[in-house]
Amino acid sequence: MNKIEVGFQEICEAYTRIKPYVVKTPLIHSDKLSELTGCDVWMKMENLQPIGAYKLRGAMNNMLSMSKEDLARGVVAASAGNHSQAVAYAARMQNASAIVCVPESTPINKRESAIRYGAELVVYGADYAAAEERAHEIERQQGRKFVHAYESPETIAGQGTIAVEVLLEKNDFDAIIVPTGGGGLLCGIAIAAKAIKPDIKVYGLQTDTSAPWKKSFEEKKLNNDCLFIPSIADGLEGEITWPNVELALTCVDGIIVVGEESTKEGIKWMAKNHHYMIEGAAATCIAALLEGHEELKGKRVLCIITGGNIDLDKFCKVCEAEYPARG
């Protein structure tokens, strides 16, 4: 696999490029979580993007970086989650045709969102890998551009614009915590944040039910030999690939693993105290703070609230459960 080349310049270019098409999301202070944890807690509310998640940034940057000829041939993507919605939405904004490949396990409502934004839906295979294979087949057959969910310079640069946006608004954070699945968001934010403020710390977050980043990052080599249990943070689930780990090793400070139960508690805490519905991935930020990890103690911490696309049934089930008290 090729090394990914993306730097602060590409992120700044992406920032300028996508600015008219994405929402400058609010940066809010949580006095309650600050009191509770002894940290000074701020949250970047990417759940308030039009599709309900930050993924719009990367998809939009891909779309706006293409030639007119490429746009005319259309795009293809694979994802069971927010990336399909993002690509469908971004393509519609550019009057481009989009095909989105999703695995058979994708719930009806997530299929519907991509169709709603005008994408053609291809349901194929048992898992993400199979759906991605099908997407590449369509790429070859139809000459469509493949828009990667987390592992292309355009995608990473697009996600990194969050750090530019937020650090130009307020820049005295000690640390940024970033929910991490494929790692595109983590790398984009780390590159931009370190360029603006070299001594800031950037940590990736995963749940203990799916934490291949922890071993891979610490051993400095790809290691997918870990538990993979379905998680409330479904956006972070699954195996990872080397290129983003390699990139992360140049700019990220560490990976924090949070408990599955704490993540559920994070969803509930946010709903109860700030009246926001956030998805499991985003709630790993709250979980990390509630668990009191050493790296964050007493720090001014920026949480990336990545998205709010959670099924109402699942949300209510989580919010009604009791989670064990912590020390």
Q: Which is nearer to its own copies, 23 or 249 (CB)?
A: 23
Instruction: Please choose, out of 5-13, 234-242, 252-260, 312-320, the segment that lies near its own copies by the rule CB under 8 A.
Output: 312-320
Site for its own copies, residues 41 to 80, rule: CB under 8 A: 47-48, 50, 52
**What residues pair up with 175 in beta bridges, in sequence order?**
201, 301
Q: Which is nearer to its own copies, 153 or 308 (CB)?
A: 308
Candidate residues 9, 16, 26, 168; the one interacting with its own copies per rule CB under 8 A? 26
SS3 string, 175-200, reads EEEEECCCCHHHHHHHHHHHHHCCCC
**Three-class secondary structure of residue 150 per DSSP:** coil
* Residue partners of 221: CB distance under 8 A and separation at least 6: none
Query: Which residue in 172, 174, 170, 208 sits closest to 297, CA to CA?
Result: 174
Minimum CB distance to its own copies, residue 276 (Å): 7
Kindly state whether residue 221 participates in binding its own copies, applying the rule CB under 8 A.
no
Q: What x/- string results for residues 133 through 162 when contact with its own copies is judged by CB under 8 A?
A: ------------------------------
Size of the chain, expressed as the number of residues it contains: 327
Q: Which is nearer to its own copies, 221 or 272 (CB)?
A: 272
Residues 123 and 144: beta-carbon distance below 8 Å: no
Instruction: Please choose, out of 61-69, 74-82, 251-259, 314-322, the segment that lies near its own copies by the rule CB under 8 A.
Output: 314-322
Q: Which is nearer to its own copies, 210 or 309 (CB)?
A: 309
HSE (side-chain half, CA atoms, 13 Å) at 180: 34
Residues 102 and 133: beta-carbon distance below 8 Å: no
Kindly state whether residue 36 participates in binding its own copies, applying the rule CB under 8 A.
no
* Residue partners of 32: CB distance under 8 A and separation at least 6: 273, 274
Kindly state whether residue 95 participates in binding its own copies, applying the rule CB under 8 A.
no
Query: Which residue in 243, 240, 249, 285 sits closest to 265, CA to CA?
Result: 285
Q: What x/- string results for residues 281 through 310 when contact with its own copies is judged by CB under 8 A?
A: ---------------------------xxx
Residues 162 and 54: beta-carbon distance below 8 Å: yes
Instruction: Please choose, out of 14-22, 185-193, 197-205, 315-323, the segment that lies near its own copies by the rule CB under 8 A.
Output: 315-323
Residues 289 and 265: beta-carbon distance below 8 Å: no
Kindly state whether residue 23 participates in binding its own copies, applying the rule CB under 8 A.
yes
Which residues are at the interface with its own copies (CB under 8 A)?
23, 26, 28, 31-32, 47-48, 50, 52, 116, 268, 271-272, 274-277, 308-310, 312, 315-316, 319-320
